[in-house]
Structure 1
Amino acid sequence: MTTILVTGGTGTLGRLVTERLRADGHEVRVLSRHTLPYAVDLREGGSGLEAALAGVETVVHCASSPRGGDEDAARNLIATSRRAGVGHLAYISIVGVDQVPFGYYRSKLAVERQIEESGLGWTVLRATQFHDLLVTLFQGLAKPPVMALPAHVPDQPVEVAEVAGRLADLALAAPAGRVADLAGPEVRTLDSLARAYLRATGRRRPVVPVPLFGKTYRAFRAGGHTAPDRALGKITFEEHLARRFGEGAARF
């Protein structure tokens, strides 16, 4: 039995990774800012992080925030992991962090570089956006009477449970470096995904594609955050919506 620490273990991905590893019989410690006994802010590190890592063989690093602080958190995690003798650090990143000049993506890429240079055994898996993220995005965009979306932007969402299963398998294996990306089953236009969400939730909104400008928009429009050759996910966005909002969504 392996002792594994999952950072961000109460989050959308980390919770499922934790459940999977425990189901396989491993001792899993959950680290988050507010969950005892390992309530630790990775950006600050300290004795709490040292206690969480004592005796740990593998770390699965899922903790992340688009509001910033990921690089500081990774720096503290890596330094403390080295002192604790951790043998394997597995990290979840995002497809396109090296293609799309978006601030959060740049931070994720910087964390990848830190991990590669850490001296620890490491594995990095990049995945496309989760279905859950798109639902959250569309929930916000559907509040006004008109649903405005960036024009001509593709997306390739993936089911978070599929990513969790892959990440758990990688964590239990030997360090593998940068592994092949994991993407959802379909590359779709953002407006088609939005219309699927509206149908599934019974909302009526005009969907208006809005052209934008700048390097980041051009990179998204070019599909830098998709991986058509790695469409290994099985669950479509409509299937996710049906499970979440009712089976009627699957008919559209």
Structure 2
Amino acid sequence: MTTILVTGGTGTLGSLVSERLRARGHEVRVLSRHAERYAVDLRTGAGLDAAVEGVDTVVHCASAQRGDVGAARNLVAALTKAGTGHLVYISIVGVDEVPLGYYRQKREVERIVEESGLGWTVLRTTQFHDLVVSLLQGLARTPLLLPVPAGVADQPIEVAEVADRLAALAEGAPAGRVPDMGGPEVLGFPGLAGAYLGATGRRRRIVPVRLAGGVYRALREGRHLTPERAVGRGTFAAYLARRFGPAR
């Protein structure tokens, strides 16, 4: 039996990874600021050394809009001291090509992992279904219109499938940068918005809006997509039906 620690283990992805690893017979330590036993704030590193002692593998799912780089440095330092053999990190397709601040932060964490001297594995995936829905919910706040970025598509993926892949990677040997993992369909935002409105019974006029800047250009060029790695099975429509019921 292997001892595996999951950072962000109470979150959407981390909790699923933890469940799968436990079901496969591993001892799992769930680390987050709100975990009952291993309540650690990676940004300060307080309590981290004790949490990683005796751990064979770490799956690093914890992430935030700020502080990820410092947290990764703290984690790597603790794992190096503990002699942990394998660090698995979940990243995002396009972090090296889309000039978003959060993406730059994720790419820097990748570099820290790659240069850590530890055995490591990095998996990049496209956006989860629930993140796309959260974005559309925000855009649909106005009563009549739903503005969407013109010429931009997305490739949403089922989070449970990503959890399955991470659990399998955690059980294996360090593999470096593994092939990207994308959802089964590349869908334009008008189509995503229309499916969301149909699932929730809302009425809005979908309005494609042209934007400016390097981020918008990179998104229009599909730098955040991986159509050649459309290995996911769960579709956006299936996710909407499961979450909201039959289309209204």
TM over 0.5: yes
> Per-residue CA shift, 1:157-188, capped at 9, x if unaligned?
00000000001100110000000000000011
Match of 1:133 among 131, 134, 141: 131
Is 1:195 the counterpart of 2:194 in the alignment?
yes
Structure 1 residue 191, shift from structure 2 partner: 1.5
Helix, strand or coil at the partner of 1:17: helix
Tell me whether 30-39 or 180-189 shows the greater mean CA deviation: 30-39
Q: Structure 2-normalised TM-score?
A: 0.98
Q: 1:39, 1:148 → 2: CA distance?
A: 40
Aligned to 2:165: 166
Aligned to 1:245: 244
Q: 1:27, 1:90 → 2: CA distance?
A: 16
Helix, strand or coil at the partner of 1:180: coil
Helix, strand or coil at the partner of 1:109: helix
Q: Structure 1-normalised TM-score?
A: 0.96
Question: Which residue identity is paired with 1:133?
Answer: L
Structure 2 contact 126–225 (Cα < 8 Å) conserved:
yes
Structure 1 residue 105, shift from structure 2 partner: 0.5
Helix, strand or coil at the partner of 1:204: coil
Helix, strand or coil at the partner of 1:129: coil
Aligned to 2:43: 43
> Per-residue CA shift, 1:11-43, capped at 9, x if unaligned?
111010001000101110001111121111101
Structure 1 residue 10, shift from structure 2 partner: 0.8
Structure 1 residue 142, shift from structure 2 partner: 1.2
Question: Which residue identity is paired with 1:178?
Answer: R
Structure 1 residue 149, shift from structure 2 partner: 1.3
Helix, strand or coil at the partner of 2:166: helix
Is 1:228 the counterpart of 2:245 in the alignment?
no
Is 1:24 the counterpart of 2:41 in the alignment?
no
Question: Which residue identity is paired with 1:204?
Answer: R
Aligned to 1:55: 54
Structure 2 contact 155–225 (Cα < 8 Å) conserved:
yes
**What is the total number of aligned residue pairs between the two structures?**
247
Aligned to 2:33: 33
Structure 1 residue 143, shift from structure 2 partner: 1.3
Q: 2:34, 2:106 → 1: CA distance?
A: 23
Q: 1:106, 1:73 → 2: CA distance?
A: 15
Match of 1:105 among 103, 106, 118: 103
Helix, strand or coil at the partner of 1:78: helix
Runs of 4+ in 1 over 3 A off after TM superposition: none
Helix, strand or coil at the partner of 2:121: strand
- Residue segments in structure 1 that go unaligned for 5+ positions in a row: none
Helix, strand or coil at the partner of 1:139: helix
Question: Which residue identity is paired with 2:9?
Answer: G
Question: Which residue identity is paired with 1:50?
Answer: D
Structure 2 contact 157–184 (Cα < 8 Å) conserved:
yes
Q: 2:4, 2:164 → 1: CA distance?
A: 15
Structure 1 residue 136, shift from structure 2 partner: 1.1
Structure 1 residue 153, shift from structure 2 partner: 0.5
Structure 2 contact 10–34 (Cα < 8 Å) conserved:
no
Helix, strand or coil at the partner of 2:30: strand
Match of 1:86 among 80, 84, 93: 84
Measured on the aligned residues, the alpha-carbon RMSD in Å equals 0.9
Q: 1:133, 1:233 → 2: CA distance?
A: 16
Q: 2:165, 2:37 → 1: CA distance?
A: 27
Q: 2:133, 2:118 → 1: CA distance?
A: 36
Aligned to 2:184: 185
